[in-house]
Structures are given as C-alpha cells and as structure tokens.
C-alpha cells in the first residue's frame, strides 16, 4: 500500500520522497523544540535525510509530506505505519516541523483528512498511536479527535531531559467524528 496525493481545505498531502529533501527539513529534525518528544530527533545531515527518504520511497507504507496549498511549502509529515491487516488497524504519527505554522490548526486538519481516508477508503477499524504524556498539545489534540487512552507506560524514557510516561491511544471507526 502506497500513499496517494490528497488534499483538504488548506493542505496538500504528497507521498514523502526525495523531492522533500531540503535544509529546512533537516533543520526541523535538529530543532530541539520540534524534536523534544521524538525518538529520532537530532543528529540529521542532508545526507542522512536523503538516505532516510530514499528508504521510505522503497517501503510499502502510507507516508505523506504535508504542504500548504497556497504556496506548496512543506510544513510537516504524517504517516500510517505499520499496518496490521490481521487486526485491520494501523499506527498513526504526525510531525509538524515548520514552527511558523504551529497553532494554526494544520495538525488537526491533516490528522482528520488522513484518518478519514483510513476509515472510509481503506476501511480500517482502529488507528493507534503512541505519545509522550508530557506532550500536552499532542495529547489534547488526540483526545479532541476522539482517541482514548488504552495504556500508560510509566517511566518510558527521557524526553526533553525529563523522565516521562508514554501513552498508547486508540481511535475506533465508530468513534471517528
């Protein structure tokens, strides 16, 4: 299963590829404020990012670059992977990398568009995610979208120089708004 180009009111979703390679993208991944709750944060170079994007092109996954419709500017990524066909579920993740576009509702818009695609077109029955409990903006977004907390892992790791818990969350097709 590969990502297809899609759109929503203000955004375009283009399959993630080497076309997304840029210094801006590298800078997001190395920005402590952007990556403070990511396991993969920091240490990126243009060469490391290029190798990552090349690998993603080979993978059979749903991975999109999020772009502003108005300018085509790449502002983040959204991914559905891995997919569990046996349980008809998949794992969701989002990165809003361009801090100039934080707080404008793009994360919510992108999430709703991709989840709608997953539930209505791909017929998934459940979408799951993992999030660090201290990432209050993300947790708030997911709860607002209808996700429920299914598990709390105590002392899951050190994020932002602090020992943190992680949450497992699920959204079921019947609860999708």
Query: Looking at the domain assignment, is residue 95 inside a domain?
Result: yes
Which has more pLDDT, 82 or 39? 82
Total number of domains constituting the chain: 1
Percent of the chain exceeding pLDDT 70 equals 99
Containing structural domain, residue 120:
6-125
Give the dihedral of Cα atoms 111, 93, 158, 47; nearest 10 deg. -120
pTM for the full model? 0.93
Q: Is the peptide bond before 82 cis (omega within 30 degrees of 0)?
A: yes
**CATH number of domain containing 81:** 3.40.630.30
- Summarised one tens digit per residue, pLDDT across range 119-156 is 999 999 999 999 999 999 899 999 999 999 999 989 88
Percent of the chain exceeding pLDDT 90 equals 79
**Whole-number Å distance between alpha carbons of 88 and 111:** 19
pLDDT-derived band at 39 (thresholds 50, 70, 90) equals confident
Query: Looking at the domain assignment, is residue 140 inside a domain?
Result: no
Query: Looking at the domain assignment, is residue 148 inside a domain?
Result: no
Query: Looking at the domain assignment, is residue 73 inside a domain?
Result: yes
**Whole-number Å distance between alpha carbons of 117 and 112:** 9
pLDDT at 86: 93
Query: Looking at the domain assignment, is residue 20 inside a domain?
Result: yes
Q: Does the pLDDT of residue 176 top 90, yes or no?
A: no
Query: Looking at the domain assignment, is residue 165 inside a domain?
Result: no
- The sign of the torsion formed by the CA atoms of 69, 71, 73, 75 equals negative
Query: Looking at the domain assignment, is residue 84 inside a domain?
Result: yes
Query: Looking at the domain assignment, is residue 107 inside a domain?
Result: yes
């Amino acid at each position: 299963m590969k990502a297809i180009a899609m759109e929503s009111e203000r955004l375009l979703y283009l399959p993630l590829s080497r076309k997304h390679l840029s210094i801006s993208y590298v800078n997001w991944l190395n920005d402590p404020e952007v990556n403070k709750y990511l396991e993969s944060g920091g240490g990126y170079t243009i060469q490391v990012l290029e190798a990552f994007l090349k690998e993603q092109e080979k993978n059979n996954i749903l991975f999109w670059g999020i772009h502003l419709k108005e300018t085509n500017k790449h502002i983040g990524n959204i991914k559905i992977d891995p997919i569990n066909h046996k349980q008809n579920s998949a794992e969701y993740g989002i990165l809003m990398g361009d801090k100039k576009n934080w707080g404008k509702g793009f994360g919510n818009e992108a999430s709703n568009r991709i989840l709608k695609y997953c539930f209505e077109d791909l017929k998934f029955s459940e979408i799951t995610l993992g999030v660090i409990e201290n990432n209050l903006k993300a947790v708030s977004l997911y709860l607002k979208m209808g996700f429920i907390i299914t598990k709390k892992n105590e002392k899951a790791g050190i994020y932002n120089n602090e020992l943190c818990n992680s949450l497992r969350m699920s959204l079921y097709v019947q609860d999708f708004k």
